[in-house]
Chain A
Amino acid sequence: MSEMESRRAFLEKVASTVFAGMVLGGQPVKAGAEPVKVELPPRPPDGPILPELEYEDVLVRMQRDLERALKKGTTPKWVMVIDTRKCVGCHACTVSCAVENKLPPGVVYRSVIEEQIGKYPEVSWRFLPRPCMQCDNPPCVPVCPVGATWKRADGIVEIDYDACIGCRYCLVSCPYQARTFDFGESWTQDTPGQGQMPYEELPTFEWGEVHVRKEGVVPSSPVGNARKCSFCLHRLEHGLLPQCVTTCIGRATFFGDASDPESLVFQLIHQPNAMRLKEELGTEPRVYYLV
């Protein structure tokens, strides 16, 4: 018993650390700072001619782009760009997304597909993170019998958790299988212990609303609902980049306003190596891949 209690105490500590991390992780990066000039070693008079190098973390650039997009007064056109050459398959985005949105088991917004090419020893891997594509022509929207999901002016496909009846027609309609159903399961279910852990009772702030999951004869949304990636709308509204972008260790995920020619994403999606998944369906995804 005491062993169980100490385990619980330990997990509580871990949970509160994770929670503290989430709160601290929410601090906006100070934007507006000028790019840092890289100090170059003194050049020998007869040495090669080196360019003046400048380095800036793309996160700082994207934060500045985001602030400009939110201030400009017109509706931004949110897009995401994923550089598959930089993705190392660490799954940090999947995990941070689950933490940000307090996802239960079976619900995932951004899984990373791993593909093995060749056979050992001539083998390599490639990775394909798959968030919601926020399609401009979303197949999941017209199928909803109660109009509980729609395309916003900024491009995000929103779900009203309080209207969704849980028929799962949108799940079968998504060619990217980006929607998952909340079966009401919890991480501590069927494990020895004393019920739910504190982190499981935290509210989710998706879509800028506060929802506390609860299973029951009449389940509390989002239990019994279709759920999906929101491009972290609740963070955007507070001037923060999506959680998967900020936690990408390879800086492989980019986010911003594609209607702003000065933004990083605008420049990236106009490169010839920018592709989208299943173009042939005409869904017009808002997620681009650099290959």
Chain B
Amino acid sequence: MRAWGWILYGVLAAIGLAGFFLRFATGHQLAGYGSYVPWGLWVAAYIYFIGLSAGAFLLSALVYVFGVRRLEPIAPLALVVALASLLMALITIWFDLGHLERFYYVYLRPNFRSMMAWMVWLYTAYGLLLLSELYFALRRHLPRYADRRGVTGLLARLLTGGRKTPFTQEEIHRDEGILRVLGTIGVPLAIAFHGGVGALFGTVVAQDLWHSPIYPILFLTGALLSGGALMTAVYVFFWPRKDGQWKELSLLLGRVVLGLILFDLLLEWAEYSIPMWYGVGSEFKALWNTLFGPFWYVYWVFHILLGVVVPVLLLLWGVRGRLGAIGLASFLVAVTFLAIRLNLVIPSLVHPKLEGLVHAYHDHRLTFVYFPTWFEWSVVVFSVVLGFTVTYVLVRILPVIEGRLLKEVA
């Protein structure tokens, strides 16, 4: 099983690296989007990853800010996952830029009327906050590793100034106070940046389907659901010690995921039913095309069947004590959430803004048909492999799980 896992990792890493090199060697030429559908899989993947990050972070905030002690064991891991997902999101959207080398212009010459400029600045603040939270959550365990050789020892010495005496209760108490303050800043920050991503789409008047006040709310609920589901799947399947506490917490997380699926579905009902009810208008046409157009299966198979129906059934079964079912359901929700993100980004774009424009000038970049190319998928695979690697390495070299290294707990 373990060997298969590494083989899969190797294959994905090879695909990802191929995508990475192609992106630099060929720019945007192998991508399937064009000028009428200017954003594609990468933008969808980016909001998917950033949602995972915000969701995982808000889960950790339940512990550090709201004092939900039952979730305490997974809080540092949630911070690591949030950091890795943030990295995945940023690298994906960085590849999407026409001029990669100019990304820092957003810092040098920002236009704060642009939601995109806000987003970048908020991410930066959020990334720094994640790093400092992780530092204050973990440093109490570090003196134990100060004598070690290798990266762990080096990091332990660097981060605590060579300290070898254990942290006193008083010091730990003080660190928890700092964590509470950081988390308290982090909650509105996470809401602002992810709601802001929703607003980045929602504020665009030209795109009928995006231009809706529900978008920021939809993005936040989606973040909680996808990030929460990802953390649940990771916890159920990969937590090194499967004891009574693990069982109890898995059941709790399963119930949370179930509740969030249903709440997200309620918002989605509003998103689809309001513009579609009377069967007229351009939004109706575009949404009808999402549900019953050529890519109907993205909605019905990947989202509704594999992301809602199957997980809900599994969870109803799982909360009676079948933890494997909870893990599988959460995994399905976390993975198929990309389908929801694709259905947020693409349908509005493939809907022409001026009828007949597509026949005015013929070019493969000037069509309203979009399907992600293998190249685009390979770049997303690169981001996923990178996120996994960062998470794995951090869990190995830092005492993320119960204040210890992965191999010590296992």
Known contacts A145-B111, A146-B106, A165-B97; 8 additional CB pairs below 8 A are A165-B99, A165-B106, A168-B98, A172-B349, A183-B28, A218-B101, A219-B99, A277-B354
B204 within 8 A of partner (CB): yes
Choose the segment among B289-297, B310-318, B358-366 that binds chain A (4+ C-beta atoms closer than 8 Å): B358-366
Stretch at the interface among B29-37, B126-134, B369-377: B29-37
Known: A165-B98, A171-B35, A225-B98. A183 touches B116 (CB 8 A): no
Question: Does residue B277 face the partner (Cβ distance < 8 Å to A)?
Answer: no
Considering the chains assembled together, what is the distance between the CA atoms of A42 and B164 in angstroms? 115
Interface footprint category on A:
35 or more
**Given A108-B361, A142-B113, CB of A130 within 8 Å of CB of B354:** yes
- Whether the pair B27, A215 counts as a contact (CB closer than 8 A) is yes
Indicate if the CB atoms of B357 and A177 lie closer than 8 Å: yes
**Proximity string of chain A (22-39) to chain B, C-beta cutoff 8 Å, 1 when within and 0 when not:** 000000000000000000
Q: Are B97 and A111 interface neighbours, CB within 8 A?
A: no
Given A143-B114, A172-B204, A183-B365, also A167-B354 (CB < 8 A):
no
Find the B residue at minimum CB distance from A217.
B24
A281 in contact (CB, < 8 A) = yes
Beta-carbon nearest neighbor of A216 in chain B: B27
Residue-wise interface mask of A (219-247) relative to B, using a CB-CB cutoff of 8 A (1 in contact, 0 not): 10101111000000000000000000000
Which residues of B come within 8 Å of A, CB atoms? 24-25, 27-29, 31, 34-36, 38-39, 96-103, 105-106, 109-111, 113-117, 120, 200, 204-207, 349, 352-357, 359-361, 363-366
- When C-beta atoms are compared, the residue in chain A nearest to B348 turns out to be A172
Could you write out 17 A-B pairs with CB less than 8 Å apart? A112-B360, A113-B359, A114-B359, A115-B355, A115-B356, A147-B111, A163-B109, A164-B99, A167-B98, A168-B39, A172-B206, A174-B353, A181-B98, A217-B24, A218-B100, A224-B97, A225-B98
Q: Which residues of A contact B97 (CB under 8 A)?
A: 165-167, 224
Chain A residues whose CB sits within 8 angstroms of the CB of B114 once the complex forms: 142-145, 169
Interface residue? A259 (CB, 8 A): no
Q: Is the CB of A106 within 8 A of B34?
A: yes
| Interface residues of B, dominant DSSP | loop
CA distance A217 to B25 in the complex (A): 6
Whether a CB of chain B sits under 8 angstroms from the CB of A101 is: no
User: Which of A111, A172, A175 has its CB near the most chain B CB atoms (within 10 A)?
Assistant: A172
Q: Is B357 touching A146 in the complex (CB atoms < 8 A)?
A: no
* Interfacial chain A residues near B120, Cβ < 8 Å: 145
From 50 to 83 in chain A, residues with beta carbon under 8 angstroms from any chain B beta carbon are: none
Of A114, A144, A168, which contacts B356 at CB under 8 A? Answer: A114
Taking CB as reference atom, which chain B residue is nearest A165? Answer: B102
Asked whether B204 lies within 8 Å of A145 as measured between CB atoms, the reply is no
Q: Which B residues are in CB contact (< 8 Å) with A163? A: 102, 105, 109
Say whether B356 contacts A108, CB under 8 Å.
no
